[in-house]
Chain A
Amino acid sequence: MARVAPVLQEDRVELSAEEQKQAQARSLKLLRSVLRPLKKQLILTLVLVVVSVGLTTALPLLLSYGIDNTITPLMEGHSGPVTLVVALYFAAAVLAGLTLYANVVLTTKVSQRALFDLRKRMFGHAQRLSVQFHETYTSGRVVSRLTSDLETLKSFLDSGLSQLASTLLSMVFTVAALVLLDWRAGVGLLVAAVPIYFLTRWFRKHSALAYRAQRVVNAQLIGRFVETFTGIRAVKAFRYEPQARSAYGNIAEDFRVKVMDSIKVNGIFMPSLTAIGNVFLGTVMIIGGYAVLGGSMQVGTLLALAIYANRVFEPVMALSDFYNLFQSAVSALEKVSSFLEEEPSVAEPEHPVTREGKPSGDVLFDNVSFSYLPGRPALHPLDLHVPAGQQVALVGKTGAGKSTVAKLIARFYDVSSGRLLLDGVDIRDLSDEQLRREVVMITQEAFLFSGSVADNIRLARPSASDEEVIAAARSVGAHDFIMNLPSGYETNLAKRGGRVSAGQRQLISFARAFLVNPSVLILDEATASLDIPTERLVQRGLARLLQGRTSFVIAHRLSTVLDSDRVLVVSEGRMIEDGAPSALITAGGVFAEMVDSWNETMAVEE
C-alpha cells in the first residue's frame, strides 16, 4: 500500500493510533531540532523561573517571620531583627522583579528565535516544493501553515511555555510551604484536591468542546459574511438580501448560543473553584488557630497560611486556560511538521554540472515519458529534437499534454522516465540557479508582486541596473506605458498589480524574461487572457523576445502558430503531427482540419 503523504493526513479528523504516534514523533522531532541550538538559554530560563517563583513564595514567610519574631525584640529596644527582615523583604522583592524581567525577555528571545528559524524553514521549504505539490495543496493552506499555525505556536511559546513552568512551580512551592507550615494543612489540601481533580476534568472536557464548537461556527459566520459582501453586486441584483440575511442570522444565533455555552462552562468552573478554595481557607484557619492555641505555631504564621491558602488554587485556573492553548499548539505543530516532511519531488542535483557561457538552446527529449499519477501516463514516450533557435508551436486540445511538455522543459516536474537534455546536459544535473538562467517560462497569469514596476522587472535579476531594466522594458515595448504611470518605473503597483491592465501586466512579465536573456523560452498561453487590441500590443514585444532563442509556444491564435518554424500537434499525451505549418496543411490532417475550421468561422462572421 502506498504511503499516505503526511500533508494529506491533515484533512482527516480521525487518525489511527499508529498514525497519531507518527504525528507526535514527527512534531517532537521538529520541536527538538528547533530548540536544540537554544538549549543553554532554555536552561537559564528554567533557573530564572525557579529563582523568581521561589522568591515570590518566600515573601509571605518573611512577613509572618517579621510579625512573630521582631516585635518582642523591638519592644526590648533591639531594632536589629526588624531592620534585617525589612531589608531582606525589600531585597527579595527587587530580586524577584529582576529575575522575572530576565525570564520574560529571555523566554521571548528563545521563542522568537525558534519561530524565526521555523518561519525561514517553512518559507524556504514552500519555495523548494514542486509546482505539482502546490497544485494539490492550495495556496490558502500554505498561507495558513505559515501564518495562523505559526501564530498559534507563537502564543504558546511566548507566554504559554514560561508561564506554564512558573505556574506549575508556584503551585509546587506553595504546596510545599503550606505543608512545611502545618502538615495538617497539607492533608486538607489533599482532601480538596479530590473535588478539584474531578472539576478540572469536567472543565477540560467541556471547555475544549465548547471552544471547538465556537470556532467552527465562528468560521462559518466569517465565511457567510465575506461571501455576502464580496458578492454584494449579485446579492443586490437578485434581491438575495432576505435569504442571505436569514442564513447569516441563523449562524449568528448559533454563534450566540455557542459563546454562551462556552462562557457558562467557565461560569460554573470558576465559582466552584472559588468555593472550594474558600472552604479550604476556613479549614486552614481553624487548623492554624488550634496550632496557635496548642502553642506549636505563632500567630504571624496564620497570615502566611491565609495568603498561601488563597494562592494555592490560582494556578489551577491558569492551567485550565493553558490547556486550550496547548491543544491548539500541538495540532499546529503537527500540521507544520507534516508540511516540512513533504519531500520536494524536484530535487537539486548533488553535483551540479557547471557550464561556461551560454548554451545554444538545443533541446532533446530522449524517450521521455511522464505521469502525474502512477499508471495514468500524461505523456507517452517521446523522442524529439529541437535545434537551437527554432520556434516551436504546440497545438492540441485542452488536456492533450501541451502544457506537460512545456512544464517538463521548465522542470516544474521531473520526467518519469527518459532524459531531457539541454545542450547535451540532463536538466536534472543543472543547479536550479543555472537552469533558470537558461530556461524561462511565461504563463497566462502574469503575477506581479507588491513593490514598484522596476522592482517587478528586476525580480528576474536583482543585480540589474536601472539602465538594464529600462532597456529590457523598451525591448518588449513596455517603456511607453510605464512612463505614463504616475511615477514611471517607481510606481508602486497595488496588490496583485490591480492598477495595470492584463496586457500591461503581461508586458512587464516579458520584460522580466528579457532581463534574464535565456536560451530557451516557453510561453504557456501567455496571451490567452488578452483582448485583441491588447494582444496586438503585446505581439510586437513578443516577437522581440522570441528573436534568436529556442522557443516553445502554446498559443490559441492561429497567426502565432502559422508564424512558427515548426508545429507539434499533441493528442492524448502523444505527438501525432510534426512539421512546418505549411507542410502540415498540405499533408492534410488534424492541423489542416483546425486551420479549415478557423477559416469557416471567419467566413460566418464576415
Chain B
Amino acid sequence: MQVGSQEPPALGLWEYMRPIRARWFLGCAVAVTATVIGISIPQVLAWIVDHLVGSETPTPGRVWAGGALITVLGLAQAVLFFVRRMLVVDTAATVEMTMRMRLYDKLSRMPVSFHDRWPSGQLLTRSTSDMSMIRRWISFGSIQSVTSALAILVGLFYLFRGSWLLGLIYTCSLPPTLLVLWFFIKRMKKLTRRSQQQSGDLATSVEESVQGIRVLKALGQGENALDRFTDESAELMHTEIDRSKTLGSTFVKTSLLTGATMAISLLVGINEVANGQMTVGALTAFFATTAMLTPHVERSGMMISMYLDSKVAMDRHREIMSEPSGERVLLVPGVTTPVPGSEAGQPGSDVLPSSQPYQQAAEIRFEHADFSYEGSPTPVFTDLSLTVAPGEILALVGPTGCGKSTLLQLIPRLYSLTGGDLLVDGHSVADLPLPDLRSQIAVAFEEPILFSSSVRDNVLVGVDRASKTEQELDQIVEDALRISASDFVSDLPDGVHTLIGEEGMSLSGGQRQRLSLARAIATRPRILLLDDPLSALDVKTEEAVVGMLSEHLNQTTVVITAHRPSTVALADRVALMQDGAIAATGRHSELMSNPDYARLMSLDADIVEEGDAPWHA
C-alpha cells in the first residue's frame, strides 16, 4: 500500500472491503438466486392445483412432476444458502481482523495525551462490539437487505401476475407496515439506551457498594445502600416493562395490518375466483407467497436498525482513525523503520549512538520549558530550567501534585513540551526518533504496570534480546532482581518463569513495584527515571534497595522523585519543585535550611513497617 505519509489514511467500509468485494458480490448473487428460487416454489403449487382443479382428467403425473420440482428447487436453494455462507463468512471475519489490527496500530501510535482523553472502556467497545457489529453487517445484514428487497420485488411480480387487484392490495399494506416498524425502531432505540444507562448506573452502584464495603459496614449503612439500590432497580424494571409494551404493541399493529390485508385478500380473491377472473391455483399461490414474504417485510425493521448500528460503529471507528497522526514507533519486531509506509532517513537518526545500552551516561537539560496538559488552562510549569549532569543522581522533591511525575514523563516524550526545549546530550528530544530516544531511557512508574507474561519476560521487556545469549540474559535478570530486592520471585511457583499480569498470578503492590524497578534496571539505560518507585515498600526493604541502587547506578543519569528522606538520601543533588518551577537545588543537608524543604522532609519517621502484602494472606 502506497500512502505517502507515515500512516495510512482513515478508510471507509467500502475501502476495507476492497480485497473481498468480488466474493461479497458473488455471495450476494448466490443469495439472491437462492431467494428467488424459494419464492418461486408457490408457483409450482399453483401449477399443481390448477391441474387438479382445472383439468377434466387430472393425472398423477403432474403431481409427481410438481412434487419433484419443489424438491429439486428446495435442494438447490439449500445448496446455494450453504455456498453463500461459505463464500462470505471468512472474508467478513478477515475484514474484521484487518480493521481490528488497524485500530490497534493506530491506538499504539497515539501519544499518551490521547489515551488520557479516551477512557480505555470507550476504546474497548470500538475494538470489540463495534467490530463484530460491522462483521455481522458485512456477512449477513447487507446481503440480507439486498435479498429481502429483491425477494419482495419478485414476490410482488408473482402476486401481480396472479391477480392485479390482489397484488395492489398487498402492495398497499407495505408502507404502513414499514412505518409501524420505523416508529418501533425509533422508540425502541430510545428505551434501550435508557435501559442501558440504568443498567450501567446499577452496575456502578454495585461496584461501589462492594469496593466500599468496609466503609458501609463500619458506618452501618448497608440498609440505606440497599434502599437506594432498590429504587434504581425499580426504575430499570419499569423501563424494561415499557420496552416490552412497545414490542407488544408493535406485534398488535403488524398482526392487525397483516390480518386485515389477508382478510380483504381472501374476500377479493374468492370473489375473483367465483367470477372466473382468477384461478384457484393463483389464489393458493397468492397466500403461499405472502406467507413467505411477510418474514422478509418484518425483518426489514431489523435490517434498518442493523444498518444504523453498523453505521454508528463505522463512524466511531473513523473518529479514531482520522485523529491526527501519532508517534513514529516500531510496531513490528525487527523492523527498524516505523511501519507502515514511513519515510526513511528521519531527522537526527544518525545523531545518537542508537540503542546500545550501557554506554556512558547522558546529560539532560530543560531550557525555559513550559508544559500544560491538553485542555487544561493552568500550566503545570512555565519557564523551567534544570540541568542534570551525566552520571548524576538527582532527586525531585515537592508537594503532591506539583508536577514531578509530569517532568519525568517529558524526558522519554510521553508528553511533549508546549514551549521551551528539552535536550538530551545537547540534542532536542523533539528531533530525535522516538525509538532511539526511548531505547536509552528506562522508567519505573509509581503505578507499576506489568504485562501478561513471565517474570523473566517482564524484566527483559526493554532489553535488546537478539544481541545477547541466553546466559547473558539470565545474568541480567538475576542482577536486576537482586538489585531491586525482588527475592520473592524465587518463592513463586515457577520462579522467574511464573506467569504474571492479567492472565497470570496477581502480585501485591510492593512486589509489582520491585519488578517494575528490576525491569528499568535491566535495560542498563543511559537515563533512569524513577517515579517514587519505592512508595509501597516497607522501610527495611526500601533501605536495602536504596543501598544497592547507589552501588550499581554509577554509569547512569538518574532522576528520582520521592517523599521520604530515606530515598532522597540516595541522591547526589536535590531539586525542590514548587509552584511550577524549580525553587532550589542543592545537597540534602544544604536544602534543610530552606523552610519549605524542611517542612516536606522533616521530623517524623516511620517506625512501624507498612506491609506490602496482605498480612494474613
Contact = CB atoms under 8 A, between A and B. Distances in A.
Given A123-B209, A223-B452, A432-B220, A97 B101 contact: no
B284 A598 contact: no
Contact of B90 (A104, A260, A597): A260
Contact of B259 (A93, A227, A263, A378): A93
Contacts of B168: none
B583 interface: no
A116 B218 contact: no
A449 B450 CA distance: 28
Contacts of B66: 285-286, 289
Interface string B3-22: 00000000000000000000
A222 B71 contact: no
B256 interface: yes
Given A236-B112, A281-B74, A96 B438 contact: no
Contact of B266 (A85, A225, A244, A440): A85
Interface in A320-368: none
Contacts of A435: 220
A531 B561 CA distance: 13
Contacts of B329: 236, 239, 241
A80 interface: no
Contacts of B391: none
Interface stretch (B44-52, B306-314, B472-480): B44-52
Contacts of A151: 199
Contacts, number: 495
A131 B213 contact: yes
Interface in A225-243: 225-243
A119 B221 contact: no
Contacts of B217: 127, 131, 410, 412, 436
Interface string A110-140: 0011011001100110111001001100010
B146 interface: no
A281 B128 CA distance: 41
Contacts of A218: 128
A587 interface: no
A299 B284 contact: yes
Contacts of B575: none
Interface in B399-419: 399-401, 409, 412, 414
Interface residues on A, range: 35 or more
A322 to B, nearest CB: 18
B376 interface: no
A252 B101 contact: yes
B92 to A, nearest CB: 9
B210 interface: yes
Interface string B29-68: 0000000000001101100110011000010101110111
A605 B569 contact: yes
B270 A237 contact: no
B341 interface: no
A206 B439 CA distance: 48
B274 interface: yes
B184 interface: no
A537 B66 CA distance: 93
Considering residues B77, B101, B211, B439, which has the most beta carbons from chain A within 10 angstroms of its beta carbon?
Answer: B211
B214 A100 contact: no
B461 A306 contact: no
B207 A278 contact: no
A297 B387 CA distance: 102
A274 B81 CA distance: 9
Nearest to A107: B244
A445 B203 CA distance: 21
Contacts of A134: 210, 213
Contact of A396 (B69, B331, B461, B608): B608
Given A101-B251, A241-B329, A282-B70, A441 B209 contact: no
B48 A398 contact: no
B105 A268 contact: no
Interface stretch (A3-11, A25-33, A555-563): A555-563
A371 B462 CA distance: 45
B616 A399 contact: yes
A512 B219 CA distance: 9
B215 interface: yes
Contact of A245 (B104, B127, B244): B104
A245 to B, nearest CB: 5
B33 to A, nearest CB: 14
Given A127-B222, A445-B214, A556 B608 contact: yes
A493 to B, nearest CB: 11
A318 interface: no
Interface stretch (B152-160, B287-295, B547-555): B287-295
B287 A303 contact: yes
Contacts of A267: 82, 85-86, 89
Interface in B197-245: 199, 202-204, 206-226, 229-230, 233-234, 237, 240-241, 243-245
Interface stretch (B378-386, B421-429, B599-607): B599-607
B451 interface: yes
Contacts of B252: 97-98, 100-101
A194 interface: no
Nearest to B108: A241
Q: What 8 pairs between A and B have smallest CB-CB spacing?
A: A278-B74, A93-B259, A436-B220, A289-B63, A282-B71, A398-B611, A97-B255, A108-B244
22 contacts: A75-B274, A90-B260, A97-B253, A97-B254, A97-B259, A100-B255, A223-B503, A224-B452, A238-B438, A239-B435, A239-B438, A241-B108, A245-B332, A259-B96, A263-B93, A281-B70, A412-B217, A436-B220, A440-B218, A532-B602, A558-B604, A594-B607
Given A306-B288, A532-B601, A557-B604, 17 more contacts: A85-B266, A90-B260, A93-B259, A102-B248, A104-B244, A131-B217, A239-B329, A242-B334, A271-B81, A279-B71, A303-B284, A412-B214, A447-B214, A460-B219, A509-B215, A594-B608, A601-B605
